[in-house]
Each structure stands twice: as C-alpha cells, then as structure tokens.
C-alpha cells in the first residue's frame, strides 16, 4: 500500500509520482481520480525522456479508450509544437519535469516524430496486440498466416451450428450425456450452459489436454469428488437396501411402536412398512418414499427434530435411538448418492463441452479463422511454449522497453499471461542488452471497479499480479512503486461520503476488495460544492384488486406494477425540476434534462418503462444505450414482411404485416378481411376484397405482390433497401418514413443496423432473403449507442457497466 506520507501529498504530486518514468508503478486509482490523465502523462514523459514511440506498448481495455488516449497524446504534442515558451514551460513543470532549452526542443519535435513513426503510437487493446504478434509469428503459433479474425456475431453463429451438430450426434456416450442434460435443464438454461462452456474454454482445454491417452473422463471427475469411480446409483442403492445394511429386528420393533402411536408416528410407520417388508431387490424402488419417515420435505430435507413423539418413546423406550441411528445411516447414503449424481452430471456436462469445443474448433480450423479469445490464448501459449517462445520473446524484447496497462482490474488471467511473459523478459534481458535503457512496467486500475467477472476478470488476480511484479522488479533499476489515488475530481463530497458509508462495514466491503481490512475512502477535489443523496422508500406491489374472469389481466397491470410506478415517480421528479427551474447549485444554473443520468442494474422491463414515462411527460430522453436488434420492432417488421412474402399462406405473419407500419390496417379493417373467410387463407381473402373494389385491400395486395417478386431475386441488403426506399401503402414517399412515423425516431438505429447486418450476412453466407430472416431471428446482435457523445440536453439511461468511465 502507499506510505503514510503519501496521504499528505496533493493530488498533483501523487499524479506526478505515478507518471514518473524513472520507476515502475502499480497505481490503485478510485473512480474519477484522474487515472487516464496519469496514463497519458506517463506516455508523454516517456517520450520526453527519449523513448522512441515504437518502444512503448500501452494496453487498454477497449478500442474507444485506446482512441481517446491516443487523441489526448496527439492533441498535447500538437500544442507543444506551437505554444510559446512560457506556456510550454508551465505545462512541462506541471508534468513534473524541469524545463530547459534541450527539453523544449525535444518537446516541440515530438509531434513530428510520432507522426513519422511507422506504426504511430502503439496504444491498443490486448486483442489488437495479440493479433499483431500472431500475424508476425503465425507458424510459431501454429495458425494460418492468412488467418481470418471473426467478429463475435459470426462466432456466435458458428457456436450455434456446432451445438446443433453435437445435439444431433449418434454417438451413444455423447447421446446419453445430452439426454441427461436435457432432463436437468430447460432450453434457456441449456443456452446458459453453452455460454459458460465457451467462456471457460481455456480452462476446459487445459483439463482435456491433461487427460492421459485412454483415461476415462468420469474417472477423473470421480477422483476429484472423492467418489469410487466404479460406484453408480444402482449399486449404491442395492448395497444400502440389503438386509445386511439394515438392523431389521430393531427397525421392525420401532415400526410396531410407531404404528401404535400418534398420527405423526403412524404416518412414518406407513412409509417404513412397505420398505421393510419387501425383498432386498424391491427396496431400491421404495427408497425415496422410505426417506420420508426420517427427513423433512418428503425425504429431501433435514432429519426430523424429533425422531418419534414423546408418547411413543415413553411407551417403547429406545425407539428414538433406533430411528436416529437409521437416519444417520441414510444421511450417509444420501450423501453418497448426491456425490454420484454430481459426478454423473459433471461428466455429462464435460462430455458435451468437449464435443462442442471440438466441433467449434474444427469449424474454425477448416475456415482458417480465429475469434477474439483465440487471439489471447494462442499468443499466451506461444509465449509460454518452451523452445518456440525464445525466438519470439527475443524479437519482442528488442522492440519493447515500457509496458503500460490500463483498467488492470478487468484484465483476465489469460491476458495477464501475455503481459507477464513480456515483462518477465524485461528482467531476463537487462543484462544481455548492450544499452542501459531503463525498462518499466506500469499498471493502473481499481479492484473496487472490477465488474467484468463474466469475461474472466478477478480482483484476486489483480492483487496476485501486483505482488508478483513487485517481487520480480525488487532490487532492479526500476522497482515497482505502489501508489494509491483517492482524490476524486468528478464527484462532490456528499456523494463520496455516502459511498464510503455504504462500504463502512467489513461484510459489505468484502464484496469489492480482496482484503476486507482495506479502507474504502474517497476525497472530493471539488470542495465546497453542493451535493445531495436522497434515498426513497422501496415501492412494493399494490394490493391485488378483484377482477371479473373475463377482464384482461393486462388492464389491471398497466401502470400499477412497482417498476411502472417507480418510472412514473422518477419522470415526475425530473419534470418537476425542469418546470420549477430548480437550481443546480454546483453549476449555478437551472437543472436541465442533460444533467440527469439514471443508472440501472440491468436492461429489464423497467428500462423501457422509464423511457416511456419520460416521453409521456415531454422530457427529452436519449433512449436505450444498447439494443438487441432481433428484439427491436423495426427489425421485426422488416423480417415479417420478408416472411410474409416467402410464405403468404402464413395467416399470423400476414396479419402482423397488414397491421404493421408498411400497410397500416386498423383492427376494424383487418377484422373485416379475416372474418367469415371460411377455409380460405387470409391472403386469399385479402385478394377477394381487392377484386371486389376495396381500395385499401387493393393497395396492400399490389404492394405485397411487388414484394413477393423481389424476395426471390434480390440479395438481403438490396431487398431491405427496397422496402425502406420505395413507397408503401402507409406512406407515399418511402417505407423508412412509415417505420419512423409508427415507431418514432429511436427506430432509426435499428433500421440502419438491420441494413448493416444484411451486408454482413451476404459476406458469410449465400445471399438469400430466407436465410437472412432465419439468421436474424437467431442472432444475438447488440448495438451500443454512444449516448455520451450525442445530444447533451437529454436524460441518459444506462446500466452501471455502460456508465463506467463517464
């Protein structure tokens, strides 16, 4: 941790210590404390110290962060090139440097030097760096020199295809594993299992690779669980139900005592009698019912608090002891059966996982493709591999002197393998180099902000890597300085005090820090500025009103659910602030919609309800920050038109199109067409109405016939473009205008993304509209809208994850 003296430093001094390139640094920076500035300042000071741009490697978490940091560095260097001497000296001194004529000349030349560097500033994501390594050393890494990097959307589609092939297997072992999983989980949870397998495929590959030839997977799992590999449910039950395992004389005496006792005792006797009277071979079928005499929840819960009633025990002393002894034996049997069931389920999951990963890897290998996870895993394996790694590390050792890592808390274990291999060579190569270059490691992060555990990030890994780096660099020319930054430039003290109060208790603090003894403390730089934290009472469900059986439940639910009432309250509050021109004291002006940011945990129904409530009250709102395209009404309407054109006799789809934005039938018109058509399809009824002179039906039929002619001959992008750019019955100008008129301006993003997806589909598959409609329905494409760069006068609604870094 930072020294006590560091607590007396000003924020500027702390930042300058962190950015000092004379030593390595591990910076724990709370939110809003200026970590991006420190990272940028360190790059600037390294360049000022004579480090060539191509000798730096700065790893960021996202492409946006890399672009932002590169833009900051370029903007500063451009200013240095033209600033007058006095202003340049002031900025250099602020960085912690001592300006002189030589430093000024160097600072003014840096902008041109960076622009002239062949690769520019190497500020990139870990995936971009790994891709460059694999492009440079494909044969050593065992990948195709022309490998194709597939996007997540394509990878998801190939995973689905691999899953379908595995599910259709005829292999008896794999079939049995799939059947067991199908009995245990529903379709939604099975999808979660697939996601889990893909997310953990590095660990699973290590497990499968560690199996010796011919080693049974179940035997390995059983050994880990402490279960006899030869044990199964049938043999274990048979042994537990044998006469030799039971104290039959004592149990039969207990049975007689229970049968003469109270109703509770009689109920237990009724469960025991068939089991004890049956032959040993018949008892396993009765075992679960037998357990109900000794355990709560029909045998699935804990042992009964009283094995028998006091009345029975007084009449037949020792009955309780017999029942308790049998309960203890059965508890052990239950534990064995549960362990065996765990082994069976785990083995089935791993069997499925091995087949799924094998099918997915085989598909990528046939195509010469890698996904983003492969980039990291292949690079890590390359750098860890004996023999092959020496050549690669030597080449990289000659090109990198300083490694900087942003958002270190969100870097997962496999990504740290890559970074640690690079920095390990710093120490290995110091004595072998002919120059005296000081080589440094810099990492900045905050374990409290580690929110990407679903991608493998772990705060414990963050702390373990910090200790490992400190050990490696100890005694070297650039030892690791451990620096903490607590002064927030973003929030006011009232907000920070509230955050500190939330994490004051060690039990709560354990959720965000590795060591619960670590103090969570934030200090505001914006001293004296007003702030307020207001806690509202929870909104509980309203009492259920009685309704008639024919009354739709939806009518009862609209506007009365807790989420709807909370959304209405938030919208009313914001509307009130704006109407009353309530002052924003920290800024000295009235509150505007752009000053409001609503954070939610997940994008659930409340998200949409809040957007709707704000719009109902004419409060400018930016809408959702992320959208799944298959869930968007605009994309669904486009897909429905294509589906109706492909299969016009699908009455439900055609009815949706007739009521949709492109045609715009109301309920009465649609009812008139559909009612009384006997056995005719809706399409036939619509044509009959058109032939009878109905103008609306005639326009719909003409447009649908034109669409049907196009669907078989146009590629997906051209087909969707035609729907959007040509007139339709609902709008004489174009279909896009009809969609926006019905769905609102927020639908524009979904429309544009649907066009982009159509192009993407054409690049990877046969360009058929039917295939595209199926692919779009199965896709899980999510689009991020950059709300922070949009209209600054709108309320923004984001998840906590998405708002990180604002």
Torsion of CA 313, 317, 319, 321, to 10 degrees: 110
344 domain-assigned:
yes
CA dist., res. 26 & res. 675, Å (int)? 73
Average the pLDDT over 425-445 and give the result.
66
Classify 224 in phi/psi space as left (phi over 0), alpha (psi -120 to 50) or beta. Answer: alpha
On whether both 220 and 340 belong to a single domain, the answer is yes
On whether both 469 and 349 belong to a single domain, the answer is no
On whether both 644 and 729 belong to a single domain, the answer is yes
pLDDT at 505: 84
606 domain-assigned:
yes
DSSP 25: E
pLDDT at 120: 82
Per-residue model confidence as pLDDT tens digits over 452-497: 665 666 777 778 888 888 888 877 777 888 898 888 888 888 888 9
CA dist., res. 419 & res. 58, Å (int)? 11
pLDDT of residue 4 exceeding 50: no
Q: Which residue has the tokens 């009612």?
A: 675
pLDDT at 129: 92
Contact criterion met (CB below 8 Å) for 464 and 408:
no
On whether both 715 and 778 belong to a single domain, the answer is yes
On whether both 483 and 495 belong to a single domain, the answer is no
On whether both 681 and 763 belong to a single domain, the answer is yes
What is the number of domains present in the chain?
A: 5
Residue ranges making up the domain that contains 355: 151-367
DSSP 295: B
Alpha helices of 117-262 — where are they, by DSSP H? Answer: 126-136, 138-141, 152-167, 172-184, 187-199, 201-209, 217-225, 233-241, 248-259
DSSP H or E segment with residue 123: strand 123-125
Q: Which of 367, 398, 430 is the last residue of a domain?
A: 367
Contact criterion met (CB below 8 Å) for 700 and 663:
yes
Return the ∠ at Cα 461 (arms to 194 and 497), rounded to 5°.
Answer: 105
CA dist., res. 403 & res. 416, Å (int)? 12
Per-residue model confidence as pLDDT tens digits over 531-541: 888 999 988 87
pLDDT at 149: 92
Average the pLDDT over 403-408 and give the result.
89
pLDDT at 102: 92
pLDDT of residue 28 exceeding 90: no
pLDDT at 804: 67
At residue 550 the predicted structure's pLDDT band, cuts being 50, 70 and 90, is low
Q: Which long-range contacts (CB under 8 A, 24 or more apart) does 506-515 make?
A: 512/447, 512/448, 512/459, 513/447, 513/448, 513/459, 514/447, 514/459, 514/460, 514/462, 514/463
Average the pLDDT over 657-680 and give the result.
91
β-pair partners for 27: 444, 483
On whether both 240 and 195 belong to a single domain, the answer is yes
Q: How high is the mean pLDDT of the chain?
A: 85
On whether both 426 and 363 belong to a single domain, the answer is no
pLDDT at 407: 85
Tell me the percentage of the chain whose pLDDT exceeds 90: 43
Alpha helices of 398-492 — where are they, by DSSP H? Answer: 413-429, 459-473
pLDDT at 609: 86
416 domain-assigned:
yes
pLDDT at 682: 93
Q: Which tokens belong to 86? A: 């006095």
Average the pLDDT over 18-22 and give the result.
91
Q: What is the CATH classification number for the domain harbouring 733? A: 1.10.486.10
89 domain-assigned:
no
At residue 426 the predicted structure's pLDDT band, cuts being 50, 70 and 90, is low
Tell me the percentage of the chain whose pLDDT exceeds 70: 90
Q: Which of 344, 367, 390 is the last residue of a domain?
A: 367
Contact criterion met (CB below 8 Å) for 618 and 579:
no
Task: Determine which of 164-178, 304-318, 603-617, 709-723 has the lowest per-residue pLDDT on average.
Answer: 603-617
pLDDT at 434: 46
83 domain-assigned:
no
pLDDT at 709: 92
CA dist., res. 540 & res. 304, Å (int)? 36
Average the pLDDT over 732-750 and give the result.
88
On whether both 742 and 595 belong to a single domain, the answer is no
pLDDT at 555: 46
At residue 302 the predicted structure's pLDDT band, cuts being 50, 70 and 90, is very high
548 domain-assigned:
no
pLDDT at 786: 57
DSSP 333: H
pLDDT at 432: 41
Q: Which of 624, 640, 664 is the last residue of a domain?
A: 624
On whether both 653 and 686 belong to a single domain, the answer is yes
On whether both 604 and 637 belong to a single domain, the answer is no
On whether both 620 and 748 belong to a single domain, the answer is no
795 domain-assigned:
no
pLDDT of residue 656 exceeding 90: yes
* Among candidate residues 410, 407, 440, the one with its CA nearest the CA of residue 423: 440
């Amino acid at each position: 941790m930072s020294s006590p003296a560091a607590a007396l430093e000003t924020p500027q001094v702390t930042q300058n210590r962190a950015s000092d390139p004379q030593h390595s640094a591990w910076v724990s920076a709370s939110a809003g404390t200026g970590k991006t500035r420190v990272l940028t300042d360190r790059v600037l000071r390294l360049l000022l110290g004579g480090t060539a741009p191509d000798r730096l490697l700065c790893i960021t978490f996202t492409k946006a962060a890399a672009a932002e940091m590169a833009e900051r560095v370029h903007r500063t260097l451009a200013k240095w090139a033209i600033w007058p001497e006095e202003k340049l000296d002031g900025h250099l001194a602020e960085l912690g440097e001592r300006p002189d004529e030589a430093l000024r000349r160097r600072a003014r030349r840096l902008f041109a030097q960076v622009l002239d560097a062949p690769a520019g500033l190497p500020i990139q994501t870990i995936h971009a760096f790994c891709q460059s390594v694999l492009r440079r050393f494909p044969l050593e890494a065992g990948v195709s020199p022309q490998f194709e990097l597939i996007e997540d959307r394509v990878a998801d589609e190939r995973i689905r295809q691999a899953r379908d092939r595995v599910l259709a297997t005829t292999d008896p072992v794999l079939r049995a594993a799939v059947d067991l999983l199908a009995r245990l989980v529903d379709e939604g949870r099975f999808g979660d299992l697939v996601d889990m397998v893909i997310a953990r495929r590095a660990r699973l590959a290590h497990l499968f690779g560690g199996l010796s030839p011919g080693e049974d997977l179940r035997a390995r799992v059983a050994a880990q669980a402490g279960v006899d590999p030869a044990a199964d449910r049938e043999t274990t039950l048979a042994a537990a139900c044998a006469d030799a395992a039971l104290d039959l004389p004592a149990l039969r005496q207990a049975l007689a005592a229970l049968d003469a006792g109270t109703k509770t005792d009689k109920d237990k006797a009724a469960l025991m009698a068939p089991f004890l009277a049956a032959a040993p071979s018949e008892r396993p079928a009765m075992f679960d019912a037998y357990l109900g005499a000794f355990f709560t929840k029909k045998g699935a819960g804990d042992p009964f608090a009283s094995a028998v009633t006091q009345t029975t025990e007084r009449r037949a002393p020792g009955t309780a002891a017999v029942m308790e002894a049998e309960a203890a034996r059965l508890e052990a049997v239950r534990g064995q059966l549960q362990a065996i069931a765990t082994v069976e389920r785990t083995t089935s999951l791993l069997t499925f996982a091995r087949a799924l990963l094998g099918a997915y890897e085989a598909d990528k290998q046939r195509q010469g493709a890698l996904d983003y996870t492969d980039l990291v895993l292949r690079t890590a394996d390359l750098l860890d591999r004996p023999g092959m790694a020496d050549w690669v590390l030597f080449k990289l050792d000659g090109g990198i002197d300083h490694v900087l890592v942003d958002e270190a808390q969100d870097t997962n274990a496999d990504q740290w393998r890559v970074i640690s291999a690079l920095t390990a060579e710093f120490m290995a190569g110091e004595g072998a180099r002919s120059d005296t270059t000081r080589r440094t490691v810099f990492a900045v992060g905050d374990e409290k902000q580690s929110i990407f555990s679903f991608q493998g990030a772990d705060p414990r890994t963050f702390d373990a890597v910090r200790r490992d780096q400190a050990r490696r660099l100890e005694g070297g020319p650039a030892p690791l300085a451990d620096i903490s930054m607590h002064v927030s430039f973003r929030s006011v003290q009232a907000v920070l005090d509230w955050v500190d109060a939330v994490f004051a208790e060690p039990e709560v603090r354990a959720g965000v820090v590795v060591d619960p003894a670590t103090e969570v403390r934030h200090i505001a730089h914006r001293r004296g500025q007003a702030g307020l934290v207001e806690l509202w009472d929870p909104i509980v469900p309203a009492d259920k009103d009685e309704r008639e059986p024919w009354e739709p439940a939806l009518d009862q639910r609209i506007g009365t659910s807790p989420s709807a009432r909370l959304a209405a309250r938030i919208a009313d509050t914001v509307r009130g602030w704006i109407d009353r021109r309530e002052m924003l004291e920290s800024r000295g002006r009235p509150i505007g919609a752009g000053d409001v940011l609503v954070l939610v945990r997940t994008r659930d129904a409340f998200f949409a309800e809040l957007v709707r409530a704000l719009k109902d009250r004419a409060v400018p709102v930016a809408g959702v920050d992320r959208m799944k395209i298959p869930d968007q009404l605009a994309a669904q309407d486009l897909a429905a038109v294509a589906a109706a054109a492909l299969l016009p006799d699908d009455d439900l789809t055609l009815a949706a199109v007739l009521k949709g934005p492109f045609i715009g039938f109301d309920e009465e018109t649609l009812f008139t067409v559909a009612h009384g058509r006997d056995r005719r399809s809706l399409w036939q009824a619509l044509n009959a109405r058109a032939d009878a002179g109905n103008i609306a039906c005639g326009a719909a039929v003409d447009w649908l016939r034109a669409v049907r002619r196009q669907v078989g001959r146009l590629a997906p992008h051209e087909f969707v473009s035609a729907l959007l750019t040509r007139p339709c019955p609902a709008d004489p100008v174009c279909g896009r205008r009809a969609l926006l008129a019905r769905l609102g301006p927020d639908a524009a993003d979904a429309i544009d993304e649907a066009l982009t997806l159509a192009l993407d589909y054409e690049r990877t598959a046969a360009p058929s509209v039917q295939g595209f409609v199926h692919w779009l329905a199965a896709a899980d494409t999510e689009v991020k809208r950059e709300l922070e760069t949009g209209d600054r006068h709108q309320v923004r609604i984001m998840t906590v994850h998405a708002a990180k870094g604002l």
